[in-house]
Amino acid sequence: MSFRTSSSTRWWALIVLALTQLVVVLDGTIVNIALPQAQTELGLSDSQRQWVVTAYALAFGALLLLGGRIADYWGRKRTYVVGMIGFGAASAFGGLAQTGAELIIARGLQGAFAALLAPAALALLTVTFPSGRDRNTAFAVFGTVAGAGAAVGLVLGGVLTEFADWRWCLLVNLFFVAVGLVGAWLFLTESRAPGDNRYDWPGVVTVTLGLGGLVYGFSLAENGWGDPLTIGFLAVGVVLLALFVWIESRVAQPLLPLRIVTHSARGGAFLIQAVAGSVMIGATLYLTFHLQIVLGMSALWAGVASLPLPLATMVTAPFATKMLAKTGPRPLLIAGPLIVAAALLYLSRITADGAYAVEVLPALVVMGAGMGFIFVPLQNLALLGVAPHDAGAASATANSAMQIGGSIGLSVFTAVYAASLGGIDHGAVDAAALTSAYGATFVAAAVGMVVAAAIAIGLVRGRKTELMPTGDAAAVHVG
């Protein structure tokens, strides 16, 4: 149909794709606000509670590289449609879950289908807006929506939990799915990568199982770092990831070309992305618990009270962009993590009877500002010196680092939280013990951010002109 290629249709396609990016990002946070209510209704343990978040992030991050390859080889529109249908089905399953295990499985399925949706949407945006001013505008809109997704998820999750039920934090996705499918039929055009393309299945299996073993091993650490199961799963994860690297160095069409991650500055950027993900996904989850369980906020007000963090990031981003052009990425990637670390240390001083405006709000604002100084240069470094045919894999690697970092970080913070409580039954814990445990997770997160600054000092080296990419670059989703 001719209207598919019209100029106006391209902008309708942008709306559909931006809406897709929104739902993928907001689903990483929308359930956070609902977790206390879901935990009570389904009888989740603290360990199961963290897996409701971890399952989504782990499946999303581990399968993103494969999702990008499927979109390129099988067809981007086809992959988008299948991903959207599967995401809707998984959301419905989760919204109707009767046990904690069903909810965790549903969240993992959501993450798996999100791993199809996210790269397909980005690739479709790239071919719909191939060059020029329209391309810059389209990517600016797409990136803005991605940046706002976390904030939208917090507020929407609060509204739905407060005035409907926690289950609607999952069922609301059916609306987005319906809009996405109709929009795909009307406005999106099929495309795929040319040539003889083959899947790197050994790479897919080893990296997926390796990351899964690593994350599950960290999740078992709450039982003790010396526990045989903890050591066993961590060891299996490391061995499988080492095998993945060996496979990628030998196959003709690797899932992850090693040249993408062996570049010093780019590899450093991926490591910093992982640490930032651990804080944004892991540490902030315990903040929402503090707001609701200790301070007694409703789900709605907990969502609103969490907003200063993403809003401060969005406000800071334009200033960070201007500074990036003057200083290059290295100074920002040193200062940003240290700013976040300082905010986390301030947050670790929370008390059971402390006021939100005094003990929490200042830390959220400073933390959000610091994150702005981290995410802006990371988007540039992720594609530094990357050839056009590797841009999709580099973007997927950055996204994967964020999600996997969040999965591992949440598992580590849960272990720190459990160790701080000393094995006390959750129902018997008083507010003072909870705040002490939450504070310990924030200290652990602060240590991680100091490590991120050290990574920037050690790996992000070179003159400013050498650390700034030139020409068109694919967008990098950081939600």
Least confident range of 36-40, 93-97, 361-365, 395-399: 395-399
Q: Do domains 1-196 and 262-479 have the same CATH topology?
A: yes
pLDDT for 156 equals 85
The 10s digit of each residue's pLDDT in 145-184 is: 776 677 778 788 888 888 888 999 999 999 999 999 999 9
Q: Quote the CA–CA distance of 126 and 26 in Å, as a whole number.
A: 22
Q: Given pLDDT bands bounded at 50, 70 and 90, which one contains residue 129?
A: confident
Number of Cα atoms under 13 Å in the Cβ half of residue 281: 35
| CB burial of residue 7 (10 Å; 0-12, 13-18, 19+) | exposed
* Domain 1-196: CATH architecture, name and number where available: Up-down Bundle (1.20)
Q: Quote the CA–CA distance of 392 and 10 in Å, as a whole number.
A: 21
Residue 383 DSSP SS3: coil
Contacts of 145 (CB under 8 A, 6+ apart): 18, 19, 21, 22, 25
Whether 378 has a pLDDT exceeding 90, the answer reads no
Please count the other Cβ atoms lying within 10 Å of the Cβ belonging to residue 308. Answer: 21
Least confident range of 103-112, 148-157, 358-367: 148-157
* Domain 262-479: CATH architecture, name and number where available: Up-down Bundle (1.20)
- pTM for the full model? 0.82
At residue 429, φ and ψ (nearest 5 deg) are: -75, 130
Q: Given pLDDT bands bounded at 50, 70 and 90, which one contains residue 474?
A: very low
pLDDT for 197 equals 74
Helix (H) or strand (E) holding 431: helix 431-459
Residue 393 DSSP SS3: helix
The 10s digit of each residue's pLDDT in 216-248 is: 888 888 777 888 998 999 999 999 999 999 999
Q: Quote the CA–CA distance of 406 and 322 in Å, as a whole number.
A: 28
- Domain boundaries of the chain, sorted by first residue: 1-196, 200-254, 262-479
Whether 477 has a pLDDT exceeding 60, the answer reads no
